[in-house]
Structure 1
Amino acid sequence: MEIINNETNLQFEYREGGEIARLEYRFYKKDIALMHTVVPDSMMGKGVASALAEQAFAFAKAKNKKVMVYCPFVAKYVQKHPELKNQIDRDYHPNL
Structure 2
Amino acid sequence: MTKLLIGLKVKASAKSNAIGNYIEINGKNYLQLSIQAVPEDGKANKEIVNFLASEWKIAKINLEIIRGSTSNFKILAIKNIAPDYLNLILKHYMK
TM-score, scaled relative to structure 1: 0.33
Structure with more of its chain in helix, by fraction: 1
TM-score, scaled relative to structure 2: 0.34
Higher relative contact order, chain-length normalized (CA < 8 Å, sep 6+): 2
Structure with more of its chain in strand, by fraction: 2
